């Protein structure tokens, strides 16, 4: 399932992020690529330990914690501290798949169930830089307004097309979900969205709504790992 999360960041946050990233210490992006994807990766990235990456990353994590659409779709158990990349002057990232396990900065490893890209540049300010994702419905081309995010299964082949004008800055990270299987997660998400709409129509205490909510939680209990 591909899901677009509009305005994860506010307009004020986007302007502040763009200002901070303009003067950040960018370096070659191969440093975090797996062996195979390093061959395809041509971009710049912020060191994980730099102050800008750390403070903006924390702000993104707070926005994710407060975003009900993200919480419902991802059912996050753990989120990798957000990374930042920049593509300009013909930079691209060829077709690849993300590593299944990511070493966490504090130790341990995160299983990458979902990948996320948060767009931080105004699309009018660069050409190219589409995120192409292969999903069950075919190749999807994604280029979102600054502050909006795409969430997609980390099992998907994907690439970033060359940026031929301007620069494309984004944050990217992975999520380990309580529900590993993408199709199970999609069912839970559909149910939760329908329950929220129904709640608006019939009120919190309608008996059918209560029993359907119970069914949702029983499915989640069955499918969730911790």
Positions that interact with Ni ion (CB under 5 A) = 98
Residue closer to Ni ion (CB basis): 33 or 64: 33
Residue closer to Ni ion (CB basis): 98 or 113: 98
* Packing angle, helices 11-22 and 51-66, rounded to 10: 160
Torsion of CA 39, 43, 47, 50, to 10 degrees: -170
Closest by Cα among 9, 132, 116, 11 to 73:
116
Q: How far is CA 210 from the centre of its chain?
A: 32
Phi, psi of 224 (to 5 degrees): -80, 135
DSSP-assigned beta bridge partners for residue 175: 79, 114
Residue closer to Ni ion (CB basis): 45 or 148: 45
CB of 96 to Ni ion, least distance (A): 6
132 contacts 161 by C-beta, under 8 angstroms: yes
135 contacts 153 by C-beta, under 8 angstroms: yes
Residue closer to Ni ion (CB basis): 98 or 192: 98
CB of 131 to Ni ion, least distance (A): 9
Residue closer to Ni ion (CB basis): 72 or 117: 117
CB of 140 to Ni ion, least distance (A): 14
The residues, any chain, with a CB within 8 Å of residue 117's CB and separated by 6 or more, are 131, 142, 149, 150, 170, 171, 172
* SS percent in the chain: helix, strand, coil, step 5: 35, 30, 30
Nearest residue to Ni ion by CB is: 98
CB of 85 to Ni ion, least distance (A): 10
Residue closer to Ni ion (CB basis): 47 or 94: 94
CB of 98 to Ni ion, least distance (A): 4
């Amino acid at each position: 399932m591909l899901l677009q999360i509009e305005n994860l960041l506010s307009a004020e946050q986007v302007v502040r992020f763009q200002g901070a990233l303009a003067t950040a210490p960018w370096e070659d992006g191969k440093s975090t690529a797996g062996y195979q994807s390093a061959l395809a990766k041509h971009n710049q990235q912020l060191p994980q330990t730099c102050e800008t990456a750390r403070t903006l990353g924390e702000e993104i994590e707070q926005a994710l914690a407060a975003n009900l659409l993200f919480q419902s779709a991802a059912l996050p158990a753990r989120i990798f501290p957000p990374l930042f990349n920049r593509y300009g002057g013909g930079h691209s990232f060829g077709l690849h798949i993300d590593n299944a396990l990511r070493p966490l900065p504090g130790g341990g490893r995160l299983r990458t169930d979902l990948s996320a890209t948060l767009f931080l540049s105004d699309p009018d300010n660069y050409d190219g830089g589409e995120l192409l994702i292969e999903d069950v419905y075919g190749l999807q081309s994604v280029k979102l307004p600054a502050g909006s995010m795409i969430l997609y299964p980390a099992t998907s082949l994907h690439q970033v097309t060359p940026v031929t004008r301007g620069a494309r800055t984004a944050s990217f990270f992975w999520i380990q979900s309580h529900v590993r299987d993408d199709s199970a997660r999609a069912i839970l998400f559909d149910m939760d969205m329908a329950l929220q709409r129904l709640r608006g129509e019939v009120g919190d205490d309608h008996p059918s709504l209560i029993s359907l909510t119970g069914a949702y939680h029983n499915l989640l209990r069955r499918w969730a790992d911790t």
